[in-house]
Amino acid sequence: MILDVKGLDVDYVSAKGAVRAVNDVSFQLRRGEILGVAGESGCGKSTLIMAIMRLLRPPAALTGGEVWLHPRDGEPVDLAARTDRELRTLRWRRIAVVLQSAMDALNPVARLSAQFADVLKAHGYRDAGKRTAELLEMVGISPDRARSYPHEMSGGMRQRAMIALALACDPELVVMDEPTTAVDVVMQRQILSQILQLRDRLGFSVVFVTHDLSLLVELADRIAVMYAGRIVEIGEAAGIYADPKHPYTKGLRDSFPPLRAPVTKLSGIPGTPPALRDLPPGCAFEPRCARRFGDCAERRPELLPVGGGLAACHLHDRERAHV
Amino acid sequence: MSDIPILAAEDVTKHFESRDGVGRHVTVRAVENVTLRLHRGRIAALVGESGSGKTTLARLLAQFYPVTSGRILLRGEPVTGPDRRFAGEVQLVFQDPFASLNSLRRVEHNLRRALKLHAHPAGDEHVRELLGKVNLTPEAEFARKLPHELSGGQRQRVAIARALAVRPSVLLGDEPISMLDVSIRLDVLNLLARLRDEEGLALLYITHDIASARYLSDDVFVMYAGQMVEGGPAESVIQEPKHPYTRLLVDSSPDPERAAGSSAFTAAEKLGEPPSLVDPPPGCRFHPRCPFARDECRTEFPPRTEFPDGGWTNCWLHVTRPEDTPTP
């Protein structure tokens, strides 16, 4: 295990009071594993990984929980309890992040080589030029591109440069926030296959956040589905797709028309996600759920074992009671 | 399906004059000799990567700017420029429903304005009828809302209702669902399908999402770097792509049913990116990325080859040359 997140809470604080964007989120990440986090806008998936990376900025604040990083050599550290100074020794070397918009994440007035050198020198690499060339080659960018400014590169190339930069100091955990949303399908495919190959070669673990569940099924080992700030289901990728236990997961899955299977009329999920400020007392998905019953509206389901994974849904209360 | 298309682009080319980074004059060859015909009661999907010319073609069809050469035909008649009558027939739905509505005005104002501009009755009941058509119920309640009080999917439905207000015969949708949340995209697609079936609209659906093109459309057209490379019935184009670029697009699309490790993508890794439209490669513009490229691909754009299933492609791989035909 490399990461153990326990009961994480994140609040957005405003004059009208706090809004809980991430609510009691717990999960574990195995070494070398790719965990996909899927959900719609506002479900808290980006906030979750910013919290894990300790990159939250006001008005967002980490208000509870633990984020235990288990380095391959050395004692476990609770990232949630470290100061910024302490985190500096972990960032890049242990944990790294790839953000959604490579254009905004790269410095527009510095050549790639300078941006790589910044990171490499701060972490004690003597021959930054050689390492930069090596990293760019790893993601299929010609090393002479190191002299380019970000605006001279295509969107796909910038995104790959961001991935190379994240891998600069050989981190154990790489967190990626929609790294392929802004690029075309062909480039998306190239980037994903590179991530898989690099993971196999270098052995890092990945938390990969996206709204595209169909993509995760091919990429991730396990998938966590978030809704209204909570994980509502988590399990093996193939199982989540073939046999989702939560009606929201099923609805999300059935929102993607098939590429090859016969086309039937699909309907998506009726309604829209609830406002976080005004969550229903029971299951947050209850107002949109076709299978709601009994006290779904009053009693919030806990995330409990079902099949091989975990799901937060009262539909499984009875089978659990029989076990 | 009537034989005369409602709206057609016949052999259109669009070049933009621009300046490069150091101020030199350049020509961007955005669309080259493209033909696309839209028929009543049918949905045509236009797919391709960004920069392939999809949006430029839609804007040429909508008369946003003039063609460099070729013709735009409305019901078989050449269109001379954007006027009220043309706008009454051809409407666009944009990608971003957060930018396409007047955010200071209520939904009813947004809709009523389109009704009035096109001299249609604009009473409350007409506004409510439009909202009903796009499933925004209760209509009276939605009519009173401001755009920021609506979700993305609801806004996009208001944008579609506004397009319908002019009673068009053609709707051009430029990535109409790509900014919407996953769970509500199908809602909008199903709405478009209903407008085709019930109102007989001719629809152009521009997307980079191959699976949604297959779900919604009757025909699929594929553009690459400004050239139209393949077209035909949706199922045949997507299940049996004839052009290597179409195959690359389909193989690159997410497909949860695909067996792990069976993908063609490992090969896709070194395929590079689409060319510059300022200085595009001669011949078939896909040839630098094409694993099957031959000499003629580098010099001349291939002629069209038609197939029995109604599909066609412009690819030298499918051109039977006289010397290939055995002489009896």
CATH code of the domain in which B199 resides: 3.40.50.300
Report yes or no: B238 at the A interface, CB cutoff 8 Å: yes
B157 touching A (Cβ < 8 Å): no
B73-81 own/partner pairs: CB under 8 Å, 24+ apart: B73/B5, B73/B7, B73/B8, B73/B10, B74/B6, B74/B7, B75/B4, B75/B6, B76/B4, B76/B5
**Are the C-beta atoms of B302 and B254 separated by less than 8 Å?**
no
| Terminal-residue alpha carbon distance, chain A | 28
- Residue B277 · residue B30 · CB < 8 Å: yes
- The reply to whether A147 falls in a domain is no
d(CA A52, CA A58): 15
Does residue A244 lie in a domain region? Answer: yes
In a domain, A69, yes or no: yes
Q: How many CB atoms lie within 10 A of CB B83?
A: 10
Nearest C-alpha in B relative to A270? B184
Q: Does A81 touch chain B (CB under 8 A)?
A: no
Cα–Cα distance for residue pair B30/B315, rounded to 1 Å: 20
Instruction: Determine whether the interchain pair B252/A41 forms a contact, defined as Cβ–Cβ distance below 8 Å.
Output: no
Which residue of B lies nearest to A196 if distances are taken between CA atoms? B266
Judged by a CB distance cut-off of 8 A, whether residue B252 touches chain A is yes
- Please give the pLDDT value at position A12: 93
Chain centroid offset of residue A283 CA: 23
As to burial, measured by CB atoms within 10 angstroms (0-12 exposed, 13-18 middle, 19+ buried), residue A96 is buried
* DSSP SS3 for B62: coil
Of B190, B252, B257, the CB nearest to A185: B252
pLDDT at B260: 55
| Alpha carbon of residue A2 to chain centroid | 15
- Judged by CB atoms closer than 8 Å, whether chains meet at A255 and B182 is answered as yes
SS3 B250: helix
| Residue B182 in contact with partner chain A when CB distance is under 8 A | yes
- Quote the domain boundaries for residue A35: 3-94+171-322
The rounded mean pLDDT for chain B is 89
Could you tell me which chain B residue has the CA closest to the CA of A221?
B260
Residue B287 in domain? no
Query: Looking at CA atoms only, how far is residue A266 from chain B in angstroms?
Result: 7
Task: Give the phi and the psi of residue B100 in degrees, each rounded to 5.
Answer: -95, -5
Chain B contact set for A218 (CB, 8 A): 254-256, 258, 260, 263
A82-90: long-range pairs with CB below 8 Å, 24+: A82/A54, A84/A54, A87/A54
pLDDT beneath 70: ranges in chain B: 1-2, 259-271, 321-328
Beta strand A3-14 pairing with A60-69: antiparallel
Q: Which residues of A touch B153 (CB under 8 A)?
A: 272
Residue A198 carries which side chain, given as an amino acid letter? Answer: L
Backbone phi and psi for residue A26, each to the nearest 5 degrees, phi listed first: -130, 135
3-state SS class at A170: coil
Residue B264 is predicted with a pLDDT of 45
Taking CB atoms and an 8 Å limit, are A212 and B250 in contact across chains?
no
Position A60 in a domain: yes
Q: Which of B158, B128, B160, B130 is nearest to B141 (CA)?
A: B128
In B, minimum Cα distance to A183 occurs at B50
- Which residue is it, tokens 């391959």? A72
- Nearest Cβ partner of A257 from B208, B215, B270? B215
Q: Which residues in chain A have their CB less than 8 angstroms from residue B210's CB?
A: 185, 259
What is the model's pLDDT at position B3?
76
Residues of chain B positioned with their CB less than 8 A from the CB of A154? 273
* Residue owning tokens 């739905």: B93
Q: Give the pLDDT score at A31.
A: 95
Nearest to B153 by CA among B104, B187, B111, B192: B187
Q: Which residues contact B76 (CB under 8 A, 6 or more apart)?
A: B4, B5
The CATH number for A197's domain is 3.40.50.300
Task: Note the Cα A149 to chain centre separation in Å.
Answer: 28
Cα dist from A193 to A17, A30, B257, B285, whole Å:
44, 20, 17, 25
Alpha-helical regions (H) of B118-233: 124-133, 139-143, 152-165, 182-199, 210-216
Given a contact cutoff of 8 angstroms between Cβ atoms, the answer to whether B198 and B191 are in contact is no
Beta carbons of B130 and B164 less than 8 angstroms apart? yes
Nearest Cβ partner of A41 from B181, B250, B257? B181
pTM, whole model, 2 decimals?
A: 0.89
Which of A142, A186, A252 should one mutate to test binding to chain B, selecting the residue with the greatest count of B CBs within 10 A?
Answer: A186
**Cβ-based contacts of A232 with chain B (< 8 Å):** none
Contacts of A113 (CB under 8 A, 6+ apart): A128, A129, A132, A146, A147
Whether residue A256 and residue B151 make contact (CB cut-off 8 A), yes or no, is no
- Matching residue, tokens 């007989």: B200
Distance (Å, rounded) from C-alpha B155 to C-alpha B110? 11
Token pair listed for B240: 């049996």
Q: Is B186 in Cβ contact with A188 (below 8 Å)?
A: no
Question: Nearest Cα to A4, choosing from A176, A303, A178, A205?
Answer: A205
Q: Do A269 and B212 touch (CB under 8 A)?
A: no
Whether B49 contacts chain A with CB within 8 A: yes
What own/partner pairs with CB < 8 Å and gap ≥ 24 does A16-23 have?
A: A16/A277, A17/A277, A18/A63, A19/A276, A19/A277, A20/A229, A20/A276, A21/A47, A21/A60, A21/A229, A21/A276, A22/A47, A22/A48, A22/A51, A22/A229, A23/A228, A23/A229, A23/A230
Q: Which amino acid is at B220?
A: V
The answer to whether residues B203 and B195 touch, using CB atoms and an 8 Å cutoff, is yes
Contact B211 A257 (CB under 8 A): yes
Chain A (4-33) residues lying within 8 Å, Cβ to Cβ, of chain B: none
Residues in chain A with pLDDT values less than 50: none
**DSSP-based helix, strand, coil % in chain B, nearest 5:** 35, 25, 45
**Nearest residue on chain B to A264, alpha-carbon basis:** B215
The confidence score (pLDDT) of residue B220 equals 97
What is the number of structural domains in chain B? 1
State the best of B252, B270, B278 to mutate against chain A, taking most chain A CBs within 10 Å. Answer: B252
Give how many domains chain A has, as a whole number: 1
B278 CB near a chain A CB, below 8 Å?
Answer: no
**Which of A240, A246, A272 lies closest to A41, judged by CA?**
A272
d(CA A76, CA A4): 10
Is residue A64, in this structure, part of any structural domain at all?
yes
* Contact between chains at B211 and A194 (C-beta distance less than 8 A): no
Which residues on B lie below 8 Å from A191 (Cβ)? Answer: none
Both tokens of A314, joined, read 């009262």
Q: Which residues numbered 235-294 in A keep a CB inside 8 Å of some CB on B?
A: 241, 251-253, 255-261, 263, 265-269, 272-273
**Cβ-based burial of B306 (10 A; exposed 0-12, middle 13-18, buried ≥19):** exposed
Helix, strand, coil share (%) of chain A residues, nearest 5: 35, 25, 40
Question: Is B254 within 8 Å of chain A by CB?
Answer: yes
A211 CB within 8 Å of a chain B CB: yes
Is residue A110 a part of any domain in this protein? Answer: no
Instruction: Render pLDDT for B28-39 as a digit per residue (tens, 0 to 9).
Output: 999 999 999 999
Q: Which residue of B has its CA nearest to A267?
A: B186
Instruction: Let me know if residue B84 belongs to a domain.
Output: yes
Query: Is residue B293, in this structure, part of any structural domain at all?
Result: no
Give the chain B residue whose CA is nearest to the CA of A42: B181
Residue keyed to tokens 């193989």:
B251
Full residue range of the structural domain in which residue B87 is found: 7-242
